[in-house]
Amino acid sequence: MRYTDELDGLRAARDNVRRRIAERLALEAGAAADGASLEAWLMAADAAIAAWETEGEEAQDSRAFRPIGPLQDLLADHAALVERIADTLDRRLS
């Protein structure tokens, strides 16, 4: 049986969500997210992720009174995966 690390799956899921964020940003801009433009959209996704991380918890709370859209759902999913990765690494260090 081949050894698999739990972190590999979490990192792959995080990267998949990052790509979906890039695709969503492109869709909302009415552009294609393929080929050479994909890298630009991935950079835009990184900026959106960074902005999401700096917002307060209240703005990210999915139970808030305002509905959140597909992009915000993806950003929340990405943040949750980053947190799970950090928790897993912390458990390994303790």
Within-domain flag for 36: yes
Whole-prediction pTM value? Answer: 0.84
CA dist 41 to 38, 64, 71, Å?
5, 28, 13
Within-domain flag for 26: yes
What's the CA angle centered on 52, arms 84 and 55, to 5 degrees?
Answer: 105
Residue range(s) defining the domain that contains residue 41? 6-93
Domain count for the chain: 1
CA dist 51 to 19, 55, 67, 72, Å?
16, 6, 19, 11
Per-residue pLDDT band for 5 (boundaries 50, 70, 90) equals confident
Query: Within a 10 A sphere around the Cβ of 61, how many other Cβ atoms?
Result: 12
CB 78 within 8 A of CB 17: yes
Residue 94 confidence (pLDDT) above 90: no
Within-domain flag for 1: no
Per-residue pLDDT band for 85 (boundaries 50, 70, 90) equals very high
